[in-house]
Amino acid sequence: MDTLVLQKHLLKLIELHAPIKARNLAKILSDEFGKHVDRSAVNSALYSLKAERKVEVNSSYEWSLDGKTAAPKSASTRKPPEPEEEVTPVSPEITFTPEQQAVIDLDPADHLLIRGQAGSGKTTVLAARAGRILSAMNKGSLLFLTYNSALSAYVKKAFAKSGMKNTIDVQTFHEWARGCAKSLGFEFSGWVDGKARSEQLRELIETARAEVGDHRLYQLKEHPELLAWWGDEIAWLFGQYMIRLDDYLAVERTGRGTSVRVSQEDRRFIWCAFELYEEWLEETKQEDYDNPAGLVLRALREGGKILPDKLRYDHVMIDEVQDFDKSWLLAAVKIPRVSLSMAGDLAQKIYKRSFSWSSVGIQVQGGRSRRLSASHRTTKQIMDVAAHLLIDNEVTSNSDYTAPERPMKSGDKVKMIIGANPKDAYDKGYDWIAKQFKRLRSTTVAVVLPFSRQMYPAKMALEKRGLKVQSAKGAGLGGFDGGVVVTTFHQLKGLEFDHVVIMGLHDAQYPARLLERLPEEDHTEEISLMKRVLYVAMTRAKVSVTLIGSKPFCRLYDDVPVSMFEEV
């Protein structure tokens, strides 16, 4: 429906039914025209009318006619940082290979994708490229985006050591999205995590049942396992930037498994609950943690359509781009005035997110895609084991996949500590860690476990053995610079340590505990993902890796020749 026509109908309906919510207006229009009208389209039209002072919205998000609504608050301004003197390129003491230097020196124009295996120096090269761009221009603004706060803190520390602390804006994507949306006049009280989303979905699905009738996907009491599926589906909808039912009906649900078959008619019932959830978020002034980009894209959709120049940067760098979602990149591509540089490795893709470059308007063919072929961080012995985790992995068929090459550096074999049972394995592991790493200063040791709830007991057990230990996630982990730190598998993304100790590798815990909540049809995909998580954890190590678990040991290592391990 044409926007002007839609606005005309909305003004008439509001005059008749005010105060009324956007979703109810969408339902009336759908009934009137015999064709589905999306709440998002109605919302966009309403906010445009609000900007023209023709309608107003109350605290309950009900709309009424009004020609006296105050004009929207103007977006706060942000002056891009301009260095007062020439910037020194990042980490001048690092000697780059000719391959790395060629990427660093590439002209900063349009899009650039840097591909490379773990330890190939993608983050360092991206940071050095940022330094060179600012040094060459001696002016301009640069935004460095990361996936999580641990990597953000790590990159900030690297820039600070290089004297570039105040010249490059380093943020997580969530931080940038929240700040950008606020500058566009859209503020919210906080993020809704997966647990809170599931709790709310229980109620909203009952509301949907009352509105459109019963459906097999609404039967959560009879099939409680469906709740996890619903959470994943909502996250997928946000990640794929689904704002219209017609788009959802037409799209291929890539990456959503096969255990729950979803027909065209099923999608209509799913969409009803999805719109109810979006309405609840709006009314409670919250945002879903899996929808940071949607926050910005909605602000643009309901506002000026184009990101204001004062919120843009000359150059944008994105690290670990393989774990960004389609909607994230749709927002990120709007930021740079001059260039967008991205670094990633599909072998290190540890979240169920997917996109194609063409779908987000990014051109990285030909000379705009550069590969870093070597591994400079880890050893032959570590990579030999880690590479087995990628054999026949689902990502290997993608054209962007970079197969790992064997490093030049040699070291000890990957160690294994195997207990008779989980408690025995943990005790043996803690004893060994305390003995090996008791007198450390600048050496870094990461003791990693599958789940966050295991961090505190591990810290206490190691301290009981006389070891000084930190427990850290996020920014605290990214700023860690010496000693022993306890964290989780997923927190290691993009970081590096001298030694990595991976605990909790008894098969009943990892992977079995994660697989038990999934139907058997989806186990292959999940196992593929968990192998990549372990690949990332292992390839953080510069010197050694130790695996700790009980019998039966983690099945994900079953195909690795026993000759590659040294049992302690």
Q: Which residues are annotated as part of the binding site?
A: 116-123
The pair of structure tokens assigned to 148 is: 């999580």
**Which of these, 344, 237, 223, lies nearest to 290 by C-alpha position?**
237
Omega of the bond leading into 108 within 30 degrees of 0 (cis): no
Residues 6+ apart with CB under 8 A from 192: 200, 281, 286, 287, 288, 289
Helices (DSSP H) in 216-263: which residue ranges?
Answer: 226-239, 245-250
Binding residues for ATP, as ranges, are 116-123
> What proportions of the chain, in percent to the nearest 5, are helix, strand and coil?
45, 15, 40
Q: 58 vs 50, 53, 355, 434, CA distance in Å?
A: 12, 14, 37, 60
Computed on alpha carbons and rounded to an integer, the radius of gyration of the chain in Å comes to: 26
**Which of these, 86, 282, 296, 50, lies nearest to 171 by C-alpha position?**
296
Neighbours of 489 (CB within 10 A): 20
Q: Put residue 466 in one of left, alpha, beta given phi > 0 → left and psi -120 to 50 → alpha.
A: left
Residues 6+ apart with CB under 8 A from 536: 118, 348, 350, 489, 492, 493
Q: 483 vs 112, 142, 246, 412, 464, CA distance in Å?
A: 37, 33, 54, 21, 16
Residues 6+ apart with CB under 8 A from 5: none
